[in-house]
Structure 1
Amino acid sequence: MEELLDLRVLGPLQVLLNGREIPSGGPRQRAVLAMLLLSPDQVVSIDSLTEAVWQGCPPATSKTQIAICIASLRKNFKAAGCHDELITTTAPGYMLRSGRHRIDAREFKEHLARARQAAQRNDAAEAAELFKTALGMWRGPALDGIASHPVQARAAELEEQRLIGYEQHTALRLELGEHRTLIGELRTLVAQHPLREQARSHLMLAQYRSGRRAEAMETFRLGRRRSIDELGLEPGQALHDLHDAILRDDPALLAPPATARPAAASVVPAQLPADIVAFTGRRAELSALDTLLDEDAGAREGMPVGFLTGGAGVGKTALAIRWAHRSADRCADGQLYADMRGHERGGRSTGTCAVLDRFLRALGVPGDRVPESFDERVALYRTTLANRRVLIVLDNVQEFSQITPLLPGSGRSAVVVTGNDQLGELSETCAPVRLNLAPLSPDEATTLLVKIVGDTRVTDDPEATARLGQLCDRLPLTLRIVAAKLRAKPHWPVRHLVRRLEDPQQRLDELSHGDRDLRHRLRLSYQQLDETAARLYRSLGLLDLSEFTSAIAASVLKVCPVEAENVVERLVDAHLLHVARWHDTGNAVYRFQDLHRLYAQERACAKEGEHGKRLPEQRLCEDLSISADRLLSA
């Protein structure tokens, strides 16, 4: 008899066989197993597993130790009585072959899909039961106890799916007249997630239908105060409309019969992430993006697409989301959003075929009508969009091939793409509004700090505040990190944080707070480099020069100036260097941002060790027979 495993990630990691738990090893083995379970039947690269275990600081023996972890897991499964080849070696990494084994996350998603299909058929009772089954699979926070940033990032995606499923389940239960029984659990949910407006609106409606009109008003008031205090934003229009309807005792608020549900074709997707707290600046860029929705945009030669590019932490995603939110009312047929994960290595980029499936369902196509064939999905997607005005945000795109099938073939929809790569192919098929984002201005950096810190420390010491902005390279990401630290430490003056950041050995460590981590973002860009560009990047970071030309790069690489310029320009394209100006000799002068230089130095030390730290600079001086002060003019 075949022994089937029960593989659980919707709570603490568990592997069961006939109800008996199989040991999954120590923290390293558990992190590796979690990564494999999060991508069943897909190759997970050794690089991705290494990142999950050591999070940017792997030992030289990391590949060997990953292999030992895999061998240990295989041994545990076999000893417990599972003789399937569950984990296979498949270049460039390993794959968990699920076969008929049960994975709770996969079953959860399948039940969610069936529940949504039942809801589209107007079968509220069946849909509610399927949602209940799906949500009942959760035993606690996904992969609770595994302290790995990549694992927890993926676990957060599962948690978001759970919350969305719960909100959809709640809407059906309200429709079925369960408003009195829902009040208690909705209060708990709103207390845990006070900024989720859908949950708050459900609680208000349940309270109103239960004859608790005053409580519904108080629920709105508390939510509005929380939103203004924490985000600086009024609640969304839908919550305000519900508030006003309750004040009017609108008869439409009474529970409708389940048969009154709108048909699936009327579904208007609203997939945008929450708007960005304390967004600052970018007025010119917002105005440029507004042209995507001009009446004549569809008449231009090529599909109008906004493309936002720039270095790590410069705020590409924030700008895209802010513009999408403020433009949503100009796209009456909804908003679609996909994080393509192009910045992640090891085959973890979001599959375009899966995004098509999700987009089609969001646009009202029943699940049983979504084609299996990739080409047929593309054709149906473009047909569905042909007569609609939808706003589509494609975030973190690495290659043009990821998004080609997601671009509408015609019509009045707008598309915004973010990514580090130049995506030159966009100009061949689209009419891109291309924006290369720069750091904020000094005044904008100060304004952002004031908005988030929320007290007078920033304005009381303008000199320290200006220095704080400089140490953060005036990047929105790093400014938000230091602002969050100041807000969490109300007894810290700005100068204290400045002193901590002025130590170059500690600055990148300081610029980490919660799920924001500049070093992690820089590492993702660095990992995309070819070996020659990576070597040049490390070597240039060691030079005691603020600026340099391709001639200096040629001396480092021992190649001709033209070849060296090509390598330097690859670093510019990756946004790890930028062009400071043109030299009198007709050549570009390049410059590091300070934080990029610090990271380049870290990579050099990690790669070459302390013994070789001065070697590139010494070789330059020997080759050119000039002092470091005159290198730039050579």
Structure 2
Amino acid sequence: MLLLHPSNVVSVDALVEAVWNGRPPATARTQVAICIAALRKRFKTEGCDDEVILTAHPGYVLALDHHYLDVTEFERLVAEAQDAVRQQRLTDAATLYEEALGLWQGPALAGVAGTQIEDEIQRLEELRLATYDSFVEVQLELGHHREIIPGLVSVVRDHPLRERSRHALMLAQYRVGRRAEAMETFREGREQSVEGLGLEPGPELQELHTAILQDDPGLVTPAPQAPKAPSAERRTPMELPADVPDFVGHGPQLAALRRLVGDDEDVRTPLSIGLVTGPAGAGKSGLAIHWAHRVAEHFPDGLLYADLGLQQEHQEPTTADAVLGRFLSSLGIPATEIPTEPAERVALYRSVLAGRRVLIVLDNAQAFDQIRTLIPGGSRCCVLVTSRGELEQLLIRHGAVRIGVDALPLREAVSLLGRVIGEARVDAARQDAVQLVELCDRLPLTIRVAAARLAAKPHWPIGYLVDRLSPEQSRLDELSVAGTQIRSAFALSYRALPSDAALLYRRLGLLEAPDFAAWVGAALLDRDPAGTEKLIDQLIGAQLLAVAGFDGTGEPRYRFRTLSRLYAKELAHQHESVRDRRAALSRAFDGWRALAEYARQAERGEPEPLVEGAVPGGPADAALYGRLARLPSDWLHAERQALISVIDQAARHGMDRVSDALTLLMLGRPRPEACVTGSRPPHPLRLDPPRGRPAAECLPRTG
């Protein structure tokens, strides 16, 4: 996988998927790390002093700064040969094609298995055969008919249904006076096509057969044709939207994007593709458009732009076929000459872009299939895609560079607010400004919405808007203005979820815990943890949930961005009954209670033995209880804030049994001075915190 995507980051998840085809063992990530370490050691043993495999979040990258890779060299030579053909330098083209084909010493990736690898093997083999066919066509143009016959015979024997190769063999045989052999070559091909596919040979093969029967004079010598002149003037499209006003931050992302554009435009490199991904409102489109304006001068042949997203909540996404038609028109193809057949439209699009240096920005892509045909074949273009999804196939098949965007750092978020409403206004109420951008999740979209409201109402103090945004039940309303509905941004991602993942999203929104483990989702759904983890992955892929990190027991933890949680909670109240919501919370709270009880028992060295196939509390699996037995204090530390929030939330919902039990468990033993807001523990525990102290401070800091 690293060899197939040189100089690009390949995530650990992609490596796991490639090796185990969707059925990884629990130790998959560890095994990947062991293999990487072994490879690094092997490179050192072979005398390679510099690092070849680098660690780069979220995986590894094969660094080729001082190394040679046959497949990249092959693609470079083929690109140069294609340029030579376009310039009618046929002798140079033949030499370059021959050098490229000489790099092949046998089947690509021989002995390597896996679904993704097998797909790549097929792609590389098809690329080799297509290159050989192009080489043969150049040799036929040069009149080297006799020299190419042995190789063609071998290719036709191995690939009897490949009509392009059979056509070239028949033509070469006829031109060297072996007319009968040419006819036999056609007869064998027709027989195999009819028997194997139930189809007659294609029209080009049949036309050549007829021409040979008639000794058509046009077959004796090649008849070079001048390139067809375009029927319209070559246009230079400039389709980018206006640059983002008051653009702030994203320095590392801009630096990563800059590497997509080489310093030497005459050097042939593989097609550069960037993927900007992140949650709704994080500024993906703004970053892409801003960068495109900055590098526009590097693309003298034009700038193409398409918004593939849903303009309205209930619209269908823009189709690739529609975009292709518009792009071809922008590139100067008259409407009457744009094919109606999708395959022909794609072929024309790639032919028109061949040799041109064009930047193509595909904004708000929903899925890989939506952009697959919009990726040009030439290497001089650059493609930049923005999407909330991960579009893993774009990384796997095309080696795209992934650039993640998320909330702005605090300083940049406040700076963006100041650029819109004025620095003096921010300086006069900096604490309020900090609180405001935090209430906006530090997302560029919501900060701009809040700033627009303040700019439109200069008599409002910043603190006044902070007060309006503080109540969670009204925050989404306050951050929705005409034409910019934050709910719509979340709705586009939510609507694309499968029903089970949508249900999990809604129920997770009921929680007030700052972060949580996967077993919590399983409890909310009353399902097994393994299946729930897959649903959580879908929510992460949709940018509706984020990974908070790993706790001391090795468990991944997840968190909401606040606005996403509020939207999920709102949906839960719209679509779930009071009874279902309460039952889901009760299962989750009981799970926390059972796990906390077990952790306290383990701390005392007396955990209850587990019965095979059953675990206390239900939602968590036996493996989690095993980790609890080994690391009880680490688990309690990781869950401390979550447990405090559960105590408060359970008390407010009248679930006093859980609230009281967790209060005692957090204290370790009853102490009269202990307290938690909203809980109702039995006497002698106090019900209210001491004046001036947050409720969380009333619980011990350890354990």
- 1:328 matched to which residue of 2? 296
The verdict on how the C-alpha distance between 1:299 and 1:540 changes in structure 2, with shifts beyond 3 A counting, is farther
- 1:386 matched to which residue of 2? 354
- Residue identity matched to 1:350: T
Q: Determine if the alignment matches structure 1 residue 602 to structure 2 residue 579.
A: no
Matches of residues 126-141 of structure 1 in structure 2 within 5 Å? none
SS of residue paired to 1:336: strand
SS of residue paired to 1:519: helix
Alpha-carbon distance in 1 for matches of 2:365, 2:397:
17
Report the alpha carbon displacement of residue 615 of structure 1 after superposing the two structures with TM. Answer: 2.9
Matches of residues 77-226 of structure 1 in structure 2 within 5 Å? none
SS of residue paired to 1:516: coil
- 1:68 matched to which residue of 2? none
C-alpha contact (below 8 Å) 2:520/2:591 kept by paired residues: no
Report the alpha carbon displacement of residue 567 of structure 1 after superposing the two structures with TM. Answer: 1.1
Report the alpha carbon displacement of residue 377 of structure 1 after superposing the two structures with TM. Answer: 1.1
SS of residue paired to 1:425: helix
SS of residue paired to 2:547: strand
Selected match of 1:493 from 456, 461, 467: 461
Selected match of 1:570 from 533, 538, 547: 538
Alpha-carbon distance in 2 for matches of 1:501, 1:596:
15
- Residue identity matched to 2:286: A
Alpha-carbon distance in 2 for matches of 1:279, 1:569:
32
- 1:150 matched to which residue of 2? none
Alpha-carbon distance in 2 for matches of 1:628, 1:446:
40
Report the alpha carbon displacement of residue 610 of structure 1 after superposing the two structures with TM. Answer: 4.1
Alpha-carbon distance in 1 for matches of 2:555, 2:446:
32
- 1:559 matched to which residue of 2? 527
Report the alpha carbon displacement of residue 561 of structure 1 after superposing the two structures with TM. Answer: 2.1
- 1:473 matched to which residue of 2? 441
Selected match of 1:291 from 259, 274, 282: 259
Matches of residues 219-234 of structure 1 in structure 2 within 5 Å? none
Alpha-carbon distance in 2 for matches of 1:492, 1:609:
39
Report the alpha carbon displacement of residue 488 of structure 1 after superposing the two structures with TM. Answer: 0.1
Alpha-carbon distance in 2 for matches of 1:541, 1:607:
12
- Residue identity matched to 1:512: S
Report the alpha carbon displacement of residue 366 of structure 1 after superposing the two structures with TM. Answer: 1.7
1:3-47 Cα distance to aligned partner (Å, 9 max, x none): xxxxxxxxxxxxxxxxxxxxxxxxxxxxxxxxxxxxxxxxxxxxx
C-alpha contact (below 8 Å) 1:301/1:430 kept by paired residues: no
1:306-338 Cα distance to aligned partner (Å, 9 max, x none): 101111101111111101111111100110011
1:450-480 Cα distance to aligned partner (Å, 9 max, x none): 1111352212111000000110000000000
Selected match of 1:528 from 496, 501, 504: 496
- 1:280 matched to which residue of 2? 248
- 1:416 matched to which residue of 2? 384
Matches of residues 446-485 of structure 1 in structure 2 within 5 Å? 446-454=414-422, 456-485=424-453
C-alpha contact (below 8 Å) 2:395/2:401 kept by paired residues: no
Q: Determine if the alignment matches structure 1 residue 592 to structure 2 residue 560.
A: yes
- 2:412 matched to which residue of 1? 444
1:37-83 Cα distance to aligned partner (Å, 9 max, x none): xxxxxxxxxxxxxxxxxxxxxxxxxxxxxxxxxxxxxxxxxxxxxxx
The verdict on how the C-alpha distance between 1:593 and 1:298 changes in structure 2, with shifts beyond 3 A counting, is farther
1:101-158 Cα distance to aligned partner (Å, 9 max, x none): xxxxxxxxxxxxxxxxxxxxxxxxxxxxxxxxxxxxxxxxxxxxxxxxxxxxxxxxxx
Tell me the percent identity.
Answer: 43
Q: Determine if the alignment matches structure 1 residue 319 to structure 2 residue 303.
A: no
C-alpha contact (below 8 Å) 2:271/2:381 kept by paired residues: no
Alpha-carbon distance in 2 for matches of 1:445, 1:398:
27
The verdict on how the C-alpha distance between 1:295 and 1:386 changes in structure 2, with shifts beyond 3 A counting, is farther
Report the alpha carbon displacement of residue 287 of structure 1 after superposing the two structures with TM. Answer: 1.2
Report the alpha carbon displacement of residue 623 of structure 1 after superposing the two structures with TM. Answer: 4.5
- Residue identity matched to 2:401: V
- 2:236 matched to which residue of 1? 268
Report the alpha carbon displacement of residue 375 of structure 1 after superposing the two structures with TM. Answer: 1.0
The verdict on how the C-alpha distance between 1:297 and 1:611 changes in structure 2, with shifts beyond 3 A counting, is farther
Alpha-carbon distance in 1 for matches of 2:542, 2:508:
15
The verdict on how the C-alpha distance between 1:287 and 1:298 changes in structure 2, with shifts beyond 3 A counting, is farther
Report the alpha carbon displacement of residue 598 of structure 1 after superposing the two structures with TM. Answer: 0.8
SS of residue paired to 2:472: coil
SS of residue paired to 1:418: strand
Alpha-carbon distance in 2 for matches of 1:298, 1:582:
46
- Residue identity matched to 1:450: G
Report the alpha carbon displacement of residue 296 of structure 1 after superposing the two structures with TM. Answer: 6.6
Report the alpha carbon displacement of residue 350 of structure 1 after superposing the two structures with TM. Answer: 1.0
Report the alpha carbon displacement of residue 344 of structure 1 after superposing the two structures with TM. Answer: 6.6
- Residue identity matched to 1:572: I
SS of residue paired to 1:274: coil
Report the alpha carbon displacement of residue 360 of structure 1 after superposing the two structures with TM. Answer: 0.7
Report the alpha carbon displacement of residue 560 of structure 1 after superposing the two structures with TM. Answer: 2.4
- 1:616 matched to which residue of 2? 584
**Aligned residue-pair number:** 373
Alpha-carbon distance in 1 for matches of 2:574, 2:313:
20
Report the alpha carbon displacement of residue 429 of structure 1 after superposing the two structures with TM. Answer: 2.3
Alpha-carbon distance in 1 for matches of 2:255, 2:393:
24
- Residue identity matched to 2:318: T
Q: Determine if the alignment matches structure 1 residue 377 to structure 2 residue 345.
A: yes
C-alpha contact (below 8 Å) 1:621/1:628 kept by paired residues: no
C-alpha contact (below 8 Å) 1:300/1:431 kept by paired residues: no
Alpha-carbon distance in 2 for matches of 1:568, 1:343:
27
- 2:363 matched to which residue of 1? 395
Alpha-carbon distance in 2 for matches of 1:344, 1:421:
19
1:171-208 Cα distance to aligned partner (Å, 9 max, x none): xxxxxxxxxxxxxxxxxxxxxxxxxxxxxxxxxxxxxx
C-alpha contact (below 8 Å) 1:539/1:604 kept by paired residues: yes
- Residue identity matched to 1:501: L
Selected match of 2:306 from 322, 338, 345: 338
TM-score by length of structure 2 reads 0.51
- 2:327 matched to which residue of 1? 359
Report the alpha carbon displacement of residue 511 of structure 1 after superposing the two structures with TM. Answer: 0.3
- Residue identity matched to 1:352: A
- 1:582 matched to which residue of 2? 550
- Residue identity matched to 1:339: D
- 1:234 matched to which residue of 2? none
Alpha-carbon distance in 2 for matches of 1:334, 1:480:
31
Report the alpha carbon displacement of residue 522 of structure 1 after superposing the two structures with TM. Answer: 0.7
Bigger-Rg structure (1/2): 2
- 1:546 matched to which residue of 2? 514
Q: After alignment, is 299-308 or 528-537 more displaced?
A: 299-308
Please list every run of 5 or more consecutive structure 1 residues that lacks an aligned counterpart in the other structure: 1-261
C-alpha contact (below 8 Å) 1:547/1:590 kept by paired residues: yes
- Residue identity matched to 1:359: F
**Could you say which structure has the greater relative contact order, defined with CA pairs below 8 angstroms and 6 or more residues apart?**
1
Alpha-carbon distance in 1 for matches of 2:336, 2:239:
22
- Residue identity matched to 1:544: E
SS of residue paired to 2:276: strand
- Residue identity matched to 1:333: D
C-alpha contact (below 8 Å) 1:272/1:336 kept by paired residues: yes
Alpha-carbon distance in 1 for matches of 2:576, 2:391:
33
C-alpha contact (below 8 Å) 2:237/2:303 kept by paired residues: yes
The verdict on how the C-alpha distance between 1:597 and 1:376 changes in structure 2, with shifts beyond 3 A counting, is same
Report the alpha carbon displacement of residue 394 of structure 1 after superposing the two structures with TM. Answer: 0.5
C-alpha contact (below 8 Å) 1:306/1:434 kept by paired residues: yes
Q: Determine if the alignment matches structure 1 residue 428 to structure 2 residue 396.
A: yes
The verdict on how the C-alpha distance between 1:538 and 1:301 changes in structure 2, with shifts beyond 3 A counting, is farther
C-alpha contact (below 8 Å) 1:343/1:525 kept by paired residues: no
- Residue identity matched to 1:416: L
Selected match of 1:368 from 336, 340, 355: 336
